[in-house]
Amino acid sequence: MKNNILVPEKLERGDTIGIAAPASPFNLRNFNRGIYMLKSMGFNVYIPEGIFNRNGYLAGTDDQRASILNNLFSKKDIKAILCARGGFGSLKILSLLDYENISDNPKIFVGYSDITAILSAIFKKCRMISFHGPMAAELGSASQRTIDAMFSVIASRFDFEIYSKKGTGLKPGIGSGVLLGGNLSTLCHLTGTPYFPHVKGSILFIEERGEAVYRIDRMITHMKIAGCFNGLSGLVLGSFTNCGSVKEINKLVSRLFEEFDIPILAGFAAGHGKENITIPFGLKATLDTGGKLLSFKWPAID
């Protein structure tokens, strides 16, 4: 435990990675490519039989999906849990997760998009670091930078920083705080629930895919009215893929956060874009818009 934050153990070659499917079913061919890549890198992979279940647009019933994830956290020989895919469904199992079990067995947990719901709940209920990063059904076609960044973060015991080469400072400054966030629409639907994390003093990261600008406006405005952004130390915009003009989105965000005296960096290569750099949620970070840097004084693993 570090500063009252649970820190998972380092992942090493030969360790076992368990696969979970807390949301939607996945493409089997893409999934197998991702599993092959993990094995070729020297990891053992544990695939629970139940992750191939289908229940309409979900990868099994709510109880089945939650049970698989709870069991993966219970297994002592599994050092990391990687989600197969996002889609929809994570929100439906939050009340079924065993947070005491998760707290007693902290381990690397990776996912993004709809998995944002679980990343948020884990921090809120367990104060445990988790990882916003690529999933099993995407790894086979992921860029080399995406893959390298993921294993650099979850297997390194050193502090680190992430330089956003294509980053754009929407509001200059430097801010520090615990990094939290994820997919905008998922965070918006967590608003008002017991699983939305306390973001006061934190740096918030948001990304999105396939939402029109007016919908992004509506979601951010809703969260703003609900007080979700009060006390933020900084804001980072990841990929906004197939959401219309990035320039228009940046202008929208600048306008909506005009009264907030915080640094804002756009164009961070994390989310649904070509590159999806893994970032740790729950770890204290410093955002420097001038240097286009997100830096961490401590490693994300122990």
Here the CATH number for the domain that contains residue 253 is: 3.50.30.60
Would you state the torsion angle of the CA atoms of residues 234, 229, 209, 219, taken in this order, to the nearest 10 degrees?
Answer: -160
| Tokens matching residue 21 | 């499917």
The pLDDT of residue 4 is 86
Cα separation, 176 vs 287, in Å, equals 6
Q: 177: pLDDT confidence band, cut at 50, 70 and 90?
A: very high
Kindly state whether residues 23 and 102 are assigned to the same domain: yes
Contact 244, 213 (CB under 8 A): yes
Q: Which of 138, 207, 208, 275 is labelled catalytic?
A: 207
The pLDDT of residue 3 is 64
- Output 260 or 153, whichever has higher pLDDT: 260
* Average pLDDT over the chain, rounded to an integer: 95
Q: 73: pLDDT confidence band, cut at 50, 70 and 90?
A: very high
Asked which of 154, 173, 205 is the last residue of a domain, the reply is 154
The pLDDT of residue 120 is 98
Q: Which of 24, 67, 113, 239 is labelled catalytic?
A: 113
Q: Which of 67, 130, 164, 272 is labelled catalytic?
A: 272
Q: Active-site residue 272, yes or no? A: yes
pLDDT above 60 (res 285) = yes
Contact 256, 249 (CB under 8 A): no
pLDDT above 80 (res 34) = yes
Q: How many other β-carbons are positioned within 10 Å of the β-carbon of residue 232? A: 22
Q: Which domain holds residue 149?
A: 16-154
Tell me which amino acid residue 271 is: G
The pLDDT of residue 298 is 87
Tally of domains in the chain: 2
pLDDT per residue over 79-93, tens digit each?
Answer: 999 999 999 999 999
Kindly state whether residues 128 and 201 are assigned to the same domain: no
282 in a domain, yes or no?
Answer: yes
Asked which of 154, 172, 196 is the last residue of a domain, the reply is 154
The pLDDT of residue 155 is 79
Q: Active-site residue 211, yes or no? A: no
pLDDT per residue over 116-174, tens digit each?
Answer: 999 999 999 999 999 999 999 999 999 999 999 998 888 777 778 888 988 999 999 99
136 in a domain, yes or no?
Answer: yes
Cα separation, 46 vs 17, in Å, equals 6
6 in a domain, yes or no?
Answer: no
Here the CATH number for the domain that contains residue 114 is: 3.40.50.10740
pLDDT per residue over 189-237, tens digit each?
Answer: 999 999 999 999 999 999 999 999 999 999 999 999 999 999 999 999 9
Q: Active-site residue 198, yes or no? A: no
The pLDDT of residue 2 is 58
Q: 1: pLDDT confidence band, cut at 50, 70 and 90?
A: low
Query: What's the mean pLDDT in 97-120?
Result: 98
Asked which of 104, 119, 154 is the last residue of a domain, the reply is 154
